[in-house]
Structure 1
């Protein structure tokens, strides 16, 4: 275990589990992760390896004996008959037989129907009536001559979810973790490896948890396939249900007028609508009207009087185009059905509190999944559910206020998102001013993304200045990442159907940020000048060629000082930097390149061999490469010096790209830098009268 794993086990004993165990025990059992983690939490919630191994075998044995596979349902029914009583794990739903005035259970995998269940159990577990619940049940078989009576008897039923939760203990334990540690604890708890995600990507993942801790929260996520959009709503919590877009009907979601039965929003904390996108789909107009009213007023009416509900709504859909294409030709909603983009459906979109940019999420790969410790997911689900009773929306008021230009609906979206993030990260309070500002900006950005796209569709929407003020009334402008990456597409009107691009850059309020981010579009300028650039995490379109190339062209000597050219990926970054030098020099020129770095404590010999190989390779392309280890161990600054008058200061050195599939030859992130997501970094270009490379060379 690493230090964080040990800390989790110390402060949350018996409530955490090693996340790779789910795959170990799952086998061919088609059950949600929270079912498996419930069992693992009973037998493997420890850091003792011997106990874990014993627990794994126990859980496997329980699944082998009691989980019902559909193709073995006949055998299980026979076992119940022969033994008279048997325990099964299955998904159970219940219907009211109004003719016989009894409740009847349906066992999904076992294939049993009309199993009598008492009213007391229904009152205790009303979700059985809607969507079904995974349960551990004791079933009995008692044959009777009465043809109307079922021989199957349900003697006991226990939903698979946590039965007790101590909120005060949770708050006290949270205080023992730093913010960074806590974010990583939550990432590991939902099964993700925090080491491969940057800060912004981690926060985006955690936004997916807000519907679980905020009542009536409306979240939209659009993005490419394979990024895990629906996973958290189907696998993570027993309080959420995932509905396919084609199955979403008025009767299923709200109320069945024939039976009078309340729909999903009346029983579940989160209702996620999968497959929401699809430009050819034609949603029911009556469903859209009811959704529109529910999302705005937290109630619905289908002729039986107003009914209130607290379910948060999540809309998930796949995009079929990249961001630049969508912004150039239409908008970021272009893959949604036309019904949602016309005057009636726009009201649904306007009620979204946050628009999650799924295109920033990479396709899930094996190294993205955690093998560390995290909360048993049904414990975290109960934590989030209990937080629905709290309101943290005003936690920024001491330091910041929203621009008066922001409407009530926009303000509600920002406040609910901010409140949700504060509950998730700082349920105990204790957030610094900088941390509060980070979450407030993040909340504003997601709501701005909604409104900006609506303004592109319909120009009657009033323009909004999405900004906030600090206690000294200094104004800070908030922009979306897409706005910074593609300003030439982002700020154009397409609402009138004209093909002509209408650039409205002049209408953008001046940013008060000292070092505004810029887009890759205007990195490579023909006239070299001093400047300072800031890039956001997940920004794309950046390459060494566009960033450094013009400043390296014409240099005869280049010195790179970077203490972190040690590991394979860092050496590969450096090799790509050398490729940039090669591309920006004439074929008949030779360039001296000198690297000053530090020796790796554990793999120094391998590091030397790699640098020697690079030097050998350089000799064939007109590069005279030398390198030296700094023996003093005092170098920390990272910069590039050229003999023709430029110093490039880099706060991250050449390590500007996030993890990508480095060993996969058939991905563009591997082949072309501009398709990689960046880490947050800054670079400063300084004109120098004279530069002197330092350090002894090793040839």
Structure 2
């Protein structure tokens, strides 16, 4: 299959050797950045030019501890310094002033500026997301104490090069899926997120792992995964995609998640495809009643109102936690170890599905990829683009037969998860007639129902109102399959 993969995707395939303890491991780079470097500095056989790569990293990827030295070069030596990093832009409503921040280096909007001419040149790329990756060029505007009012010194953005220099051809990606069997395509997807398909014992294990990336491809998909330690939850949600955010536990407040009224700044949910809250068992949610109210509304409608600020986002909320082995039983109360936020059915009902983390094998050397695979940066950009394609949901609405008096939240949850599976596993589907009914049942509908069933069972344990209630029996309408 390697030859087919390279023929079909050409430059979007890189050689990933994750079994070796090379210097990429020491750098701790996210997958999308590592693969960008591999694409830039590896030859057609996957061999790296170590000297060129080392020079590039030394020049453009300094450690955070070097920030003082970098500021010295910019301010005192009047140098133009280039860094490969993420940048966040802001425009003041009161003054119209355009500023930026570099989150990885602690540089804030109060210390920066963007000239109108620079903004006009790079505006389209800089406003493509809340945080954008690229090579930033930094200069300095010195202070002027003679001016009235005094002009403070600020770091200027003088140039920007997009991190993604190629054009995404979504239609090509959809069409090329036809060249692979479903089994082969599952292996392609695993390689794209750094996993060796040959290290899994069954297709069921492979699909369990891929369930984690459903929020990458479907808007406002809310999931919870409870699992043993060491299965790679944090890696998938925190290192694979530049479009998501993994919180590091601790305290998760309304200001952090949604809107900070003191600073008048939006929170995590704005500008990201998903927010994964790690170590949820240990998280403190600030004012629990406030968080529960806002979280419930957001998970239902994708909107929130805080102090008159109307917020809207498409980010899914993912809860990740480790629980005791004895509690890994969908027929028992698995939420007993979780914070009080999860002890009321209203919020739990808004979680679309449950990921059984104990079905995913603990990370081992056999699961580390050593071979050709899709560039993670390219792959996750594809998934990001697929989020906006509403045709898949229209197809799911067309083919799933919903029984009378079906619970609305159950129906929405199953359809949303099934749509995500369809985009992930069968992106080549363009109409209902393209769908193989057996394949859709096996890989999309049944897994979606299973994931929702676990949530429903937990609801029955938490709240007597849900006791004995099950997910409706969804079926497929008879639509001729053209193949």
Instruction: Give the shorter-chain TM-score range.
Output: 0.7 to 0.9
Choose from 1, 13, 31 the match for 1:16. 13
Residue 208 of structure 1 corresponds to 212
Verify: 1:318 aligned to 2:312, yes or no. no
Residue 331 of structure 1 corresponds to 333
Choose from 170, 176, 187 the match for 1:167. 170
Contact between 2:396 and 2:419, CA under 8 Å: does it hold in 1?
no
Contact between 1:283 and 1:339, CA under 8 Å: does it hold in 2?
no
Return the index of the structure with the highest Cα Rg: 1
Distance verdict in 2 for CA 1:102–1:247, change over 3 Å? farther
Residue 353 of structure 1 corresponds to 352
For residues 493-504 of structure 1, the aligned pairs below 5 Å read none
Distance verdict in 2 for CA 1:450–1:65, change over 3 Å? same
Contact between 1:222 and 1:356, CA under 8 Å: does it hold in 2?
yes
Verify: 1:89 aligned to 2:88, yes or no. no
Verify: 1:135 aligned to 2:134, yes or no. yes
Aligned residues: 458
SS in 2 for 1:313: strand
Q: Deviations over 1:29-80 (max 9, x none)?
A: 3432212222222333x6424xx333x5433321122211123334434444
RMSD: 3.1
2:94 and 2:171 map into 1 onto residues whose CA distance is 48
Name whichever of 166-175 and 29-38 sits farther off.
29-38
Contact between 1:9 and 1:47, CA under 8 Å: does it hold in 2?
no
How big is the shift at 1:401?
Answer: 3.3
Q: Deviations over 1:348-369 (max 9, x none)?
A: 1111111001122222112211
SS in 2 for 1:355: strand
SS in 1 for 2:266: coil
Distance verdict in 2 for CA 1:97–1:181, change over 3 Å? same
How big is the shift at 1:99?
Answer: 8.5
More helix, by proportion? 2
2:460 and 2:81 map into 1 onto residues whose CA distance is 60
Distance verdict in 2 for CA 1:110–1:307, change over 3 Å? closer
1:356 and 1:205 map into 2 onto residues whose CA distance is 9
Residue 691 of structure 1 corresponds to none
For residues 113-262 of structure 1, the aligned pairs below 5 Å read 113=108, 114-118=111-115, 120=119, 124-126=125-127, 132-141=131-140, 143-144=142-143, 146=145, 148-150=151-153, 152-161=155-164, 164-197=167-200, 198-262=202-266
Give the alignment's TM-score, normalised by structure 1: 0.60
Residue 674 of structure 1 corresponds to none
SS in 2 for 1:204: helix
2:300 and 2:214 map into 1 onto residues whose CA distance is 18
Contact between 1:282 and 1:339, CA under 8 Å: does it hold in 2?
no
Distance verdict in 2 for CA 1:402–1:96, change over 3 Å? closer
2:284 and 2:78 map into 1 onto residues whose CA distance is 54
Q: Which runs of 5+ in 2 are unaligned?
A: 479-483
Q: Which runs of 5+ in 1 are unaligned?
A: 473-699
Contact between 1:162 and 1:378, CA under 8 Å: does it hold in 2?
no
Contact between 1:35 and 1:160, CA under 8 Å: does it hold in 2?
no
Residue 312 of structure 2 corresponds to 308
Residue 450 of structure 1 corresponds to 455
Distance verdict in 2 for CA 1:277–1:405, change over 3 Å? farther
Distance verdict in 2 for CA 1:390–1:82, change over 3 Å? same
Q: Deviations over 1:282-319 (max 9, x none)?
A: 65211111110111122112242644321111111121
Name whichever of 429-438 and 202-211 sits farther off.
429-438
Choose from 264, 267, 271 the match for 2:275. 271
Give the alignment's TM-score, normalised by structure 2: 0.84
How big is the shift at 1:281?
Answer: 6.8
2:133 and 2:198 map into 1 onto residues whose CA distance is 33
2:438 and 2:265 map into 1 onto residues whose CA distance is 48
Contact between 2:453 and 2:471, CA under 8 Å: does it hold in 1?
no
1:310 and 1:279 map into 2 onto residues whose CA distance is 23
Contact between 2:410 and 2:471, CA under 8 Å: does it hold in 1?
no
Distance verdict in 2 for CA 1:61–1:393, change over 3 Å? same
Residue 423 of structure 1 corresponds to 423
Choose from 285, 292, 306 the match for 1:288. 292
Residue 413 of structure 1 corresponds to 413
Distance verdict in 2 for CA 1:85–1:471, change over 3 Å? closer
Residue 37 of structure 2 corresponds to 39
Distance verdict in 2 for CA 1:110–1:212, change over 3 Å? closer
Contact between 1:135 and 1:158, CA under 8 Å: does it hold in 2?
yes
Distance verdict in 2 for CA 1:92–1:397, change over 3 Å? closer
Contact between 2:227 and 2:356, CA under 8 Å: does it hold in 1?
yes
